Structure 1
Amino acid sequence: MINYSDIQKEVTTEITTTLGQINSNDVSVLLDEIKKADKVFFVGVGRVLLSLEAIAKRLAHLGIRTYIVGQITEPAITENDLLIVGSGSGESSFPLIIAKKAKKFNASVAHIGANPNCSMKEYSDHFVRIPVSTKLQLENEIPSVQPMTSLFEQSLLLLGDTLALMLVREQNIDMHSLWEYHANLE
């Protein structure tokens, strides 16, 4: 019989290993980009998009104006804004198209991915590498026992929560006061 405790240890060990190998300087630069942007846009597909939506929501709780590309209330992107692209491979078509378009409006583009030598590199001003296995199976990737790219999506979400906590601590935000920004029509 498969044991939950054994499996969860494998999963959490993978996540700990991965988060520990993300370059902290790259994360600090991303945090600075988020802070200086008027608006922060997010684009991704599939489960990556779900992780990005959770990050956008948490940053909105901290007073940052966040938007998911394609949402009905999405405003225009400008040179004062940041587009955060989530794409492990850096080759997903829709995020590539959106990043290229954002650059036409002189917006900053940050790519969070696993593949530093990808097509997204042409449109990115900043790259944060989550060094895990992708669908491309490149060298120097942290292998995973989990299905497909689960480790990337999980690590992306936790990277977003780490960025949020960094902001909370840097700005001395009272955690209890954050509830005023939480949805209240639930």
Structure 2
Amino acid sequence: CMHSGKKVYVIGETISPAIRENDVCILISGSAKTNAIRHIRKLAENIGATTFLVTANKEALTGDSLLSGLWINAATKHTLQSDMKTIQPLGNQFDQMAHIILDAAIIDSTNDITTMIENHTNME
């Protein structure tokens, strides 16, 4: 999102400002069951922000304040071996799929490569 000109912050970073009403909080979690994800979602929704959940857990894509969500059919550490065959351990498959899909969404929504280059770090 940052490459397309949006202001983006990571929860927990010291430079992240307070979340506000009408902000969008993007949560990425294979299970969507961790205490941290549930807590952050509840805090964001109580403030009036909208949550967008990227998950491998279909059942987690419910809620009054959920703008929308994205279900990724990929293995997580909670997936039974009989449910989905993969040689990748734990949530690696979900993590990789989320990265590829979200990267494709940014590419699709940003036709201006010049803006992306201008917004890319220059401190390397």
Report the TM-score range of the alignment, normalised by the length of the smaller protein.
0.7 to 0.9
Q: TM-score, normalised by structure 2?
A: 0.86
| Partner residue, 1:80 | 22
1:60-104 CA deviation, whole Å, 9 max, x = no partner?
Answer: 121010010011111111222101111111101111101100001
Tell me, yes or no, if the aligned pair for 1:61 and 1:181 is still in contact at 8 Å.
yes
1:166 pairs, out of 100, 105, 108, with: 108
CA drift at 1:177: 4.2
Q: How do 1:52-131 residues align onto structure 2 when only pairs under 5 Å count?
A: 59-118=1-60, 121-122=62-63, 125=66, 126-131=68-73
Partner SS state of residue 110, structure 2:
helix
Q: Distance in 1 between matches of 2:21 and 2:54?
A: 20
Give the number of equivalent residue pairs. 123
Task: Give the unaligned 5+ runs of structure 1.
Answer: 1-58
State the AA in 2 paired with 1:81. D
Moved over 6 A (4+): none
Label 1:137 to 1:177 Cα distance change in 2 as closer, same or farther (>3 A): closer
Q: Percent identity?
A: 28
Q: Distance in 2 between matches of 1:127 and 1:178?
A: 25
| Partner residue, 1:184 | 122
State the AA in 1 paired with 2:93. L
| Partner residue, 1:54 | none
**If each structure's helix is expressed as a fraction of its own residues, which one has the higher value?**
1
Tell me, yes or no, if the aligned pair for 1:81 and 1:108 is still in contact at 8 Å.
yes
Tell me, yes or no, if the aligned pair for 2:76 and 2:91 is still in contact at 8 Å.
yes
| Partner residue, 1:153 | 95
1:10-30 CA deviation, whole Å, 9 max, x = no partner?
Answer: xxxxxxxxxxxxxxxxxxxxx
Tell me, yes or no, if the aligned pair for 1:82 and 1:109 is still in contact at 8 Å.
yes
1:26-59 CA deviation, whole Å, 9 max, x = no partner?
Answer: xxxxxxxxxxxxxxxxxxxxxxxxxxxxxxxxx2
Q: Distance in 2 between matches of 1:143 and 1:123?
A: 34
Q: Distance in 2 between matches of 1:67 and 1:111?
A: 16
